[in-house]
Structures are given as C-alpha cells and as structure tokens.
Chain A
Amino acid sequence: MLHLGDLKGAPPGSRGRSRAAEAVPDWPARLAELAAAARDPRLRAFYAAGAVAGDTALKDVPMVALDVETTGLDPARDEIVSIGLVPMRARCIRSSASRYWVVRPRAELNPESVTIHAITHAQVEAAPDFGAIIDELLPALAGQVVVVHCREIERAFLDLALKARIGEGLEFPVIDTMELEARLHRRPPPGFFSRLFGRKPAPVSIRLADSRERYGLPRYRAHHALTDALATAELLQAQLAHRFAPETPLRQLWC
C-alpha cells in the first residue's frame, strides 16, 4: 500500500483519525439497505451476502485482509494497479487461499509510483481493466469483514474504481489495524506542564512496518499488494493475541 506520509499531500488529519469521529453503521442493516438499492446484479449479490452481526465473537468472524497499490495517493486522480487478498480468521491466516490481481489504469503510470510498487509498464500493459475483475473481486469480499491498514485508501479507491465502471460505489465493513494501533498510541491532550514548557511526547509511528516491529513481526518489503495484505493480516493476529480476547464482540473493532 502507499502509506500515508510516504508521499507528500496525504489527506490532512487522516492519520489516527478517531473511529468515534465517524459514526460506525450497523453493518448488517446498512448492507441490507444497499442490497435493496443496488442496480448492478454483482453488487446486489455482494451486499446480499451481508455481514455477521456486531456481537459476533472475534474468533468466529470471517475476514479477508486487503491491500491495494495505486498510482498515487489522490483517489480522485490516481488509480489502482494491483490488489492483494488474504482470507483469515482470528487464529489462522489462510495465505494458501490468497488472491492477487494486477490491473491496468486508464492513465499512464507515472515513473515515481513505478519505483515504489515495482509493477512495470510491461506488466500493466498485459493486465485487464479493473472492470474485468469485478466478477472475481466482489465474491471474494462478500460476507467478509475486510482487514486493512489505513481504511481511507482502500475504501476510497475501491469505491471510485467501481463508480467509474458501473456507476455505483462500494461500502463494506472493515477492521483497520492502523486505527487499532492509533488507539494505543493516540496522544493524550498535552498536560499543564507540557504546555508550560512546550514539551511534546515522542511520536509513535503507526505505519505498518513500525507497528509490526512492535509485535516482533519480521520486516517485509513494502508496496506489494499481496505482501502488504499478508503483513496486515499478521499484524491483526498479533494485535488480537495481545489485546483482545477471542470472545470480544466484533463491534468493538469494526468501522
């Protein structure tokens, strides 16, 4: 994934944005609503698969870790170049059932992003348009809670990519490992003495690689959609093992 902060122009205030700031929908109800409204049959099938209830214990939640690589950070201008999916449960990552697609953006690849995700022009030339993989992508996500690191990117890019192809957007429940990290390291309001002396606590990085390191997870090469999806899945397992009991209801995590 393109981590916020990797490139200039990251959406202001997106880092560590609190979950409370956005209202978390009642996902089963929301998806039912969307299913009723959807026109595209594929999208309708996706929404109809629904979501498990918010009180489902974490250990019983079907999940899929997702990462997209893009040509840049602006969903309005940039496009998806690859997507990685790794199905998982709280205790086991089914990397053997991983999925991976390279897709061809409509605009030219810019050289700067090629150096980041290492997908070359040749690979992209041979790849299908995003529209051609919707048939495979939506069923792979249907009924699952999607696990991402920094939900703004994945949500916005998938939403816009779909809108551009079928005229309808996409919504889905996510667990955001970055948001889970931010809960731990969110800065408390500066205390009196700190304000007095202008002291700031050392910032804690909640980027994927840094978060993984705190849990003793190995260092992976970043910016490959499938590797980043696996890395995100592993991070979630570590977070769950250390901080959430298997019986914890899903609603405490999703957004």
Chain B
Amino acid sequence: MQVEQLEILDFLRARPPFADLPEEALQRLAGAIDVRYYKAGERIVDFGEPAAFWHLVRSGAVEVYRRNGTLYNRLTAGGYFGEFGLLRYGRVRFPATALEDSLLYLVPGEVFGALFEQYESFADYVEVEDRTRLRQVMSRREESNDLLSATVDTLVGRAAVTLPSTASAREVAQRMSAEGVSSLLILDDNPEVPGLPQLAGIVTDRDLRTRLVAPGLSYDTPAAEIMSRGVVAVNHNQLVFEAMLAMLRHNVHHLPVLKNQRPLGVIALSDIIRYESRNSLFVVGSIFRQQSVDELAAQVPEVRACFARMVGEDASSHMVGSAMAAIGRSFKQRLLELAETELGPPPVPYCFLALGSMARQEQLIVTDQDNALVLDNRFDPARHDAYFKALAAFVSDGLARCGYSYCTGGVMATNARWRQPLQVWERTFSDWIERPTPESLLNAGIFFDLDGVWGRTEWADRLRELIARKAKGNARFLACMARNALLRTPPLGFFKDFVVESDGRHTRAINIKRRGTAPLADLVRVHALAIGSMSINSFERLKDIIDAAILPLGRGQDLYDALEFISMVRARHQAESLAVGEEPDNGIDPEKLSEFERKSLRDAFLILGNAQKFLKYRYQPGRAN
C-alpha cells in the first residue's frame, strides 16, 4: 500500500526536475523514496560500487568527486547525484561525501529509470552529460528566434529587376517605376561564361537623385556611370541575421540575393525591419548623420536602449555583439570623417584598426577602446606624425565621450608605438610569432584580433594573412599562446550564494568576462591560429575549427554553446543594470542568478575547463601539430 508522505511530496513539487511531472507520477515517486541521514564527513557512495539509487539532497550539503579526487560538484537542498552511474555504467562513477550533516532521499534505480524513460522534460533536465543539457538549452533558444534560423531567400518577394549596363538612365528609371521597385540590378555579360551574366552594380532611387539629377547629367547617360559598383551581396541560403549584419557593416539598404551567382532578387532594409528590432540599423544610420562629437555623444542613450532591447528580445550574443560592433565601428568611422574635416586630408594613406573584442565583434555595452593606426610605408615621422597624432587624439577623445573608455593598457593609436607604417607592423608581428616574449604574447592576444575600420582596410587583411600564415606552423609560438590562454580559469560553479573555485574555496562574486568569455576567446584564438583561420569572431573561428576537425567530435559545438550562454548571462546582467539605472559591469553576484542560470553556467564552465585541459595537451611544447 502506498501512502502520501506529504513532506517528501511537497519538497519534490517545488523543484525544477519534478515540478513538471504529472501529479500521479509525483506521488508514485514520493511513495518510492527512502530516507537516510549522513553525518558530516561520512562517505555516501564509493567509486565502483553498484549504483542502486539516485540521490536527492533534502537538507545539508554534499560533495561529489571525480575518480581522481578532484571536486566535481557541491550540492545543497534540491541537488541530486548518481544519474551517471545509473544510466550509463551500473556502477557509481562519482563518489560522494556529506560535507554537512545531510538528509538524503534515495530514489531506487528502477524508479528513476522509469521516470527518465517516460518523461522527456525530466530526462532533459537531469541529462547525463552537462554538455548535452547546455546543447538542448541553446538549441531551444535558437529555434525561438526567427532571425537565427530564417534564410534570406524567404524574404525575397519577387524576381530581381535587371537591365544591362548599356541601358540608359531613363530606361532604368522607367523600368523601376513600371515595376514599382526602389532598386535595380545592372548585369554585364561574363566574358568567361557566356550564358551567365555578372552582377556589375546596383542603381537605387538615391543614386538617380545624387548621381544623375543633382549633377545635371543627361538622361541618356549609361547606367554603368550612375550605378554603385562593388556591390555587397548575400547568398540565398545565408541567414537573415547575416544579411542584417552585412547592411550594418556596409551601411547599405539594399542587398542583392544570389543563387548560383545569378541574382535571385533584392532585399531591402524594410524587409529585414519586419524581422529585427530595428534599433541597431537606425542607430547606425543616425550616427552617420551627426555633425559633431557633441552630437555623437548624445547618441549614447540610443545605443544603450538598443542593446537592452536586443537582449530583451532574446537575440543571440553573436547578434548583440555584431550589432554593438557595427555601432562602435560606425562611431569610429564618423569620428574619422569629422577628424579629416577638421584636420584636412591625411598626408599619406592610413588604415584605422579596431583591436580585441571590438574587432571580434564580441563587445557588449561596457568596453574600452583598443585601436591602432597602420600608416603608408612612405610615412615620415618628422613630417607626418603630427597629423596622425592629432587624428588619433581626436578619435580617442571622441570615443571616450561616446562611452568607450580609454584603454588602461595604452593600446590606442594615441600611443606612438601603435602608430606605425605597414612594414613595421609586419616586422613586429613576425617578431612576436618567431621570438615570443611574455610581453609580446600578451600583445598578440590583443593585436592578433584586428579589423580594418577605415581607410586602407585591405592592409588589415594583409596583416591578418601574415599572422595566419606565420602562426599556423609555429609549434613554439602556439605552445606559448596556449600557456597564456590557461592563465585565467573558470570557477567550478555555485554553492549556496557563493562561487566555488575548483579547489573548493568560496568567493563572493565573479567577473564573468575575466573568468568566462575572455578565457574562452583566448582558447578559441589559439586553435584558430593553429589552423590558419582568417576569421576574427570567436563563433566564426569555432566554425572553422569544427570544419578543421582538430577537436574531439562534438566539443566544438559544446564550446560554441558555452560561449553563447556565458555571453548571454553577461549581456543580460548588463542590460539589467541599465534597466535599474546602474552603471553596467562584468561582476556577477551568484545570488542574482536563477537556478537555471546557475546550472547552465556551471555546465558552460565545465566545458571551458575541459577545453583548457585539451588545449594544454594539444599544444604542449615540442608536440607536432
């Protein structure tokens, strides 16, 4: 006969893995539980003994260990252990000891097994592998967001309207009016493949206004003379979100969509706006309309609102980071335009570089400015440096006013050391790779994530190529970078209201950037350098790393999920600070995390910790990669 043990039932009913179970299943479970008391210090299960029970902590605290004796987890009321042994091995895999006097509920193995079989939500929650659980969390998030899953061809409403480049401006305008479109693609014959015309350019309403009517050209002017060349296009199977990024990055409002190199259609800003919290696109647009540093600085509340809104709408951290990077990039570009207006045109060509998290597109709302100047090789300090010094100061001061604080490490173009001709940069980077020193390794961690923002951006590409080429085969450099990437470690997880370190110590709060996103980016960078990846963003680097198959199967995806989750916790934390009028930062108070966040963060930290071990193993000095 089964009777209702009310206290057991009530305890279960209030907790996540059980709360979703139907009442009858709950009652069956409560009725099957036996109870056992353990004194502090008493061993609960030993490694290798037959796994008979799934253990629930009713009160007290329990420590779970790995076989080698290192702490695996620390649990309080509501925590559970023993599922690994029951589901996979039949024997206890993680020994456990009572840390405090503890009361444990013992769920017989077959009762646990039946619940696991029958109730998917329960199984998901207590899933055997931490990484699997995180994957499920992340894929549910991805499904819930259209921007991440929809491809651009779903936005193409009609076939592309095209004309050959020999058509006149009048023909272009007539055709656009007849078709009711705001842009028209110009196609040229491809000399190499006769049947496949090439996309030569695009003409928009605005082009007709600014390039034809305003200068007073004849309506018979060939389309080739008024079209925009070097058209930014997207492939039909790219994500809507990527199309949005392309628009942000290039500040264009029309994107041709290609399929097998043929134009399929054009998507306009307005098509995407239906999908996106339109803020970020408009913030970028408005940045370019501002006429002074004061006006730019006045945009800061808009930027913060946009950030908070994206986070609130459950955008992925990749999307938020990209949007924030596009905004940061626009600030720099507009500041450089303003600087050139004030200081006159540059004496020699230059390229303004964004470095670090800004280049990786992983910055959120709290970020400092890491930047540098690449100058033409004809640069003569005596004649030209005064200009570039002033230019750097203008931008740097302007950025500081727009919310990007000065870099405390002095990694800014205002520092003469980081204002060098291209050939000096090439020499410096080669030197860092071939003869690493403690200082140069730290610099490599910042400078090797570089992105050309303004001017001769092809120089930035050239520098990235050089880094990818030289670092790839250099086992010693990679070993040094790997060692540096292990300096910052994740915590073990949370216990009560504390952060638990791997050695069991407690700390009050963690800096989620220093302990989470930064070591992850460091780790990803080392793998990316090892395979010669040219990507800058950590998510894109991870895709390259997964393609290169240098990680054990599935671990690349795990890292992807871990980075996404930690980044989102960080983003949410900052958005919440903004919402209550506090200055956002990276300090996370475990008390403010939900039970779900604690669990998932712990999973993510575990993945990071394991990935660090693998990094250490893979790039040990002397090992051929």
Interface residues of A (CB under 8 A from B): 91-96, 98-100, 215-218, 220-221, 224, 226-227, 230-231, 233-234, 237-238, 241-242
**Interface contact B36-A226, CB-CB below 8 Å:** no
Contact with A along B590-617 (1 / 0, CB 8 A): 0000000000000000000000000000
B25-66 contacts to A, CB under 8 A, are 31-39, 42, 58-60
Contact with A along B50-89 (1 / 0, CB 8 A): 0000000011100000000000000001000000000000
> Number of B interface residues, CB 8 Å?
27
**Interface contact A216-B101, CB-CB below 8 Å:** yes
Q: Least Cβ distance of B430 to chain A in Å?
A: 63
Nearest to B100 among chain A residues (CB) is A216
Q: Least Cβ distance of A91 to chain B in Å?
A: 6
Nearest to A238 among chain B residues (CB) is B37
Q: Which A residues touch B36, using CB under 8 A?
A: 91-93, 237
Stretch of B4-12, B129-137, B164-172 that contacts chain A: B4-12
B103 within 8 A of A: yes
Pull 13 A–B residue pairs with CB atoms less than 8 Å apart, ordered by A: A92-B36, A95-B35, A215-B37, A216-B59, A216-B102, A217-B37, A218-B77, A221-B7, A227-B5, A230-B35, A238-B37, A241-B101, A242-B39
Q: Which A residues touch B8, using CB under 8 A?
A: 95, 230
**Interface contact A218-B6, CB-CB below 8 Å:** no
Q: Least Cβ distance of A162 to chain B in Å?
A: 22
**Interface contact B59-A217, CB-CB below 8 Å:** yes
Contact A226/B3 with A216-B60, A217-B59 known, Cβ cut-off 8 Å: yes
Number of residue pairs A-B, CB distance < 8 angstroms: 73
**Interface contact B37-A221, CB-CB below 8 Å:** no
Q: Which A residues touch B7, using CB under 8 A?
A: 218, 220-221, 227, 230-231
Q: Which B residues touch A231, using CB under 8 A?
A: 7
Q: Which B residues touch A226, using CB under 8 A?
A: 3-6
Q: Least Cβ distance of A143 to chain B in Å?
A: 19
B106 within 8 A of A: yes
Contact A215/B4 with A92-B34, A93-B34, A93-B36 known, Cβ cut-off 8 Å: no
Q: Which B residues touch A94, using CB under 8 A?
A: 34
Q: Least Cβ distance of A250 to chain B in Å?
A: 19
Q: Which A residues touch B32, using CB under 8 A?
A: 96
User: Closest 8 CB pairs between A and B?
Assistant: A237-B37, A93-B35, A216-B101, A100-B3, A241-B39, A218-B59, A220-B7, A98-B3
A224 to B58, CA, bound (A): 19
Q: Which B residues touch A224, using CB under 8 A?
A: 6
**Interface contact B103-A234, CB-CB below 8 Å:** yes
**Interface contact B33-A241, CB-CB below 8 Å:** no
**Interface contact B5-A230, CB-CB below 8 Å:** yes
**Interface contact B103-A92, CB-CB below 8 Å:** no
B178 within 8 A of A: no
Q: Which B residues touch A241, using CB under 8 A?
A: 37-39, 42, 101
Nearest to B1 among chain A residues (CB) is A99
Q: Least Cβ distance of A94 to chain B in Å?
A: 5
Q: Least Cβ distance of B100 to chain A in Å?
A: 6
Given contact pairs A96-B31, A96-B32, A218-B58, enumerate 11 new A-B contacts (beta carbons under 8 Å): A92-B36, A95-B34, A98-B3, A216-B60, A224-B6, A226-B5, A226-B6, A227-B6, A233-B35, A241-B37, A241-B42
Q: Which B residues touch A91, using CB under 8 A?
A: 36
Contact A96/B33 with A216-B59, A220-B7 known, Cβ cut-off 8 Å: yes
Q: Least Cβ distance of A101 to chain B in Å?
A: 9
Contact with A along B110-153 (1 / 0, CB 8 A): 00000000000000000000000000000000000000000000
A217 to B102, CA, bound (A): 8
Q: Least Cβ distance of B428 to chain A in Å?
A: 62
Q: Which A residues touch B35, using CB under 8 A?
A: 92-93, 95, 230, 233-234, 237
Nearest to B102 among chain A residues (CB) is A216
Q: Which B residues touch A218, using CB under 8 A?
A: 7, 58-59, 77, 103
Nearest to A100 among chain B residues (CB) is B3
Contact A99/B3 with A92-B35, A94-B34 known, Cβ cut-off 8 Å: yes
Nearest to B108 among chain A residues (CB) is A96
Q: Which A residues touch B77, using CB under 8 A?
A: 218
Q: Which A residues touch B103, using CB under 8 A?
A: 217-218, 234
Q: Which A residues touch B37, using CB under 8 A?
A: 215, 217, 234, 237-238, 241
Q: Least Cβ distance of A132 to chain B in Å?
A: 15
Nearest to A229 among chain B residues (CB) is B5
Q: Least Cβ distance of B139 to chain A in Å?
A: 37
A217 to B101, CA, bound (A): 8
A5 to B449, CA, bound (A): 74
Q: Which B residues touch A221, using CB under 8 A?
A: 6-7
**Interface contact B3-A92, CB-CB below 8 Å:** no
Q: Which B residues touch A215, using CB under 8 A?
A: 37, 101
Chain B CB within 10 A, most for which of A91, A221, A231, A234: A234
Q: Least Cβ distance of A103 to chain B in Å?
A: 14
B483-536 contacts to A, CB under 8 A, are none
Nearest to A85 among chain B residues (CB) is B3
Q: Least Cβ distance of A1 to chain B in Å?
A: 15
A227 to B58, CA, bound (A): 15
Nearest to A87 among chain B residues (CB) is B34
Q: Least Cβ distance of B591 to chain A in Å?
A: 21
A82 to B7, CA, bound (A): 17
Q: Least Cβ distance of A222 to chain B in Å?
A: 11
**Interface contact B34-A238, CB-CB below 8 Å:** no
**Interface contact A95-B5, CB-CB below 8 Å:** yes
Nearest to A215 among chain B residues (CB) is B101
A242 to B60, CA, bound (A): 15
A238 to B60, CA, bound (A): 12
Q: Least Cβ distance of A227 to chain B in Å?
A: 5
Q: Which A residues touch B33, using CB under 8 A?
A: 95-96
Q: Which A residues touch B4, using CB under 8 A?
A: 100, 226
Q: Which B residues touch A99, using CB under 8 A?
A: 1, 3
Q: Least Cβ distance of B15 to chain A in Å?
A: 14
Q: Least Cβ distance of A57 to chain B in Å?
A: 18
Q: Which B residues touch A230, using CB under 8 A?
A: 5, 7-8, 35
A226 to B101, CA, bound (A): 23
Nearest to B58 among chain A residues (CB) is A218
